[in-house]
């Protein structure tokens, strides 16, 4: 009871909630689900609090065996899901029983799937969160990704008695189309780019390289020129260097001028590279579902647009809640 058996860990499956906040100034990034919308909706489907801990699996999903009666929901990337080798629907609450085995086939679109189980994954809370930060080995399940043949604890209060069946309508599921358009607030150090370089940055279709993970996404596809300047005291000698600053989550830096890096949930919190823009928080859900080999584009928006997008997402989440009667 209250256990989830990990038969296969998948490629990179971690325990994540909605993030670890309030410690950024200490150098602790938020971690948490990369695609927040999918994680929150998965929780809603199984009757959990929005910020309960779920599993986030990248590219190759895990194989999980249940030991008690639970509700289960899979959201995020589009991958065929099976329960005891029979297909089950994603974005749907599914009733599971002891001995049931959940498995995934190869993803068709998107990058990360989310698995919520009623009650939530019960790992110890570390600095106010159950999220895993693998770079330092903190939080989540022993600070690391899941491995084959181990056991996760589930919260005792998540035993299901009712049936599943609640489903998120198609129009409230995220868009996984490629190329993803990432709305971006230009700054804080965009003054370091020439005017042409900024236009070129916004006009280029950037390809996601193999170096794209929870820390950041390294992109390729263009070359950006920096303006001439006298190296300021405290800044490095690379034209992309500035005096150290705190990096916004979602900020874009361009070491060397040719490979922009979008910093994400597990990234370093500050340093000495010019950040030329910041992907708005809502569209971090989009980049989270862009996989290596796909393309992304950046579209310049102002702060009001970014805040409106955040309100829109909040409203969408409330729409789902109403639809599901949670």
Distance CA 46, CA 120 (A): 9
Residue 245 burial (10 A CB sphere; 0-12, 13-18, 19+)? middle
Of 9 and 164, CB closest to another protein: 9
Of 111 and 166, nearer to another protein (C-beta) is: 111
Q: Closer CB to another protein, residue 142 or residue 211?
A: 211
Between 33 and 212, name the residue whose CB sits nearer to another protein: 212
- In the complex, the smallest distance separating the C-beta of residue 231 from another protein, rounded to whole angstroms, is 31
For 36, 107, 108, the CA distances from 173, given in Å and listed in that order, are 12, 16, 15
Q: Give start and end residues of each alpha helix (H) in the chain.
A: 36-45, 195-203, 281-288, 303-324
User: With respect to another protein, which residue has the nearer C-beta, 192 or 214?
Assistant: 214
Distance of closest approach, residue 170 Cβ to another protein, in angstroms: 23
Binding site for another protein (CB under 8 A): 11-12, 58-60, 106-108, 210-213, 291-293
Q: How far apart are CA 259 and CA 255, in angstroms?
A: 7
Taking the complex as a whole, the smallest distance from the CB of residue 53 to another protein amounts, in Å, to 21
- Provide, rounded to whole angstroms, the least separation between the CB of residue 248 and another protein: 23
**DSSP string for 171-229:** GGSPP--SSEEEEEEE-SSGGGB-HHHHHHHHH--EEEEEEESSSEEEEES---PBPP-
Residue 257 CB, nearest approach to another protein (Å) = 22
Cβ atoms of 274 and 229 within 8 Å: the answer is no
With respect to another protein, which residue has the nearer C-beta, 188 or 212? 212
Rounded distance, CA 278 to CA 299, Å? 11
Minimum separation from the CB atom of position 107 to another protein (A) = 6
């Amino acid at each position: 009871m209250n256990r989830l058996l990990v038969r296969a860990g998948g490629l990179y499956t971690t325990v994540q909630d909605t993030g670890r906040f309030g410690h950024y100034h200490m150098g602790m990034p938020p971690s948490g689900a990369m695609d927040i919308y999918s994680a929150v909706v998965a929780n809603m489907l199984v009757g959990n609090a929005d910020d309960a801990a779920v599993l986030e699996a990248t590219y190759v999903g895990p194989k999980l065996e249940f030991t008690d009666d639970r509700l289960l929901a899979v959201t995020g990337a589009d991958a065929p899901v099976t329960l005891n080798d029979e297909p089950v629907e994603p974005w749907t609450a599914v009733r599971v029983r002891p001995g049931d085995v959940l498995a995934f086939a190869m993803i068709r679109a998107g990058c990360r799937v989310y698995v919520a189980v009623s009650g939530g994954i019960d790992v110890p809370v570390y600095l106010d969160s159950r999220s895993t930060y693998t770079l330092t080995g903190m939080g989540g399940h022993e600070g690391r990704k899941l491995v084959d043949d181990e056991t996760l604890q589930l919260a005792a209060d998540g035993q299901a008695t009712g049936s599943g069946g609640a489903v998120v309508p198609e129009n409230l599921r995220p868009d996984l189309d490629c190329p993803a358009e990432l709305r971006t607030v230009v700054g804080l150090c965009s003054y370091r780019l020439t005017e042409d370089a900024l236009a070129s940055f916004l006009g280029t279709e950037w390809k996601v390289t193999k170096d794209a993970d929870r820390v950041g996404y390294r992109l390729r596809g263009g070359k950006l020129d920096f303006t001439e300047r006298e190296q300021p005291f405290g800044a490095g000698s690379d034209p992309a260097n500035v005096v150290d600053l705190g990096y916004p989550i979602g900020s874009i830096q361009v070491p060397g001028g040719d490979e922009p890096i979008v910093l994400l949930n597990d990234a370093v919190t500050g340093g000495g590279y010019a950040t030329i823009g910041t992907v708005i928080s809502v569209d971090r859900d989009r980049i989270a579902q862009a996989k290596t080999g796909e393309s992304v584009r950046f579209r310049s928006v102002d702060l009001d647009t970014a805040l409106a997008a955040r309100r829109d997402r909040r409203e969408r989440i409330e729409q789902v809640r109403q639809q599901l009667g949670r």
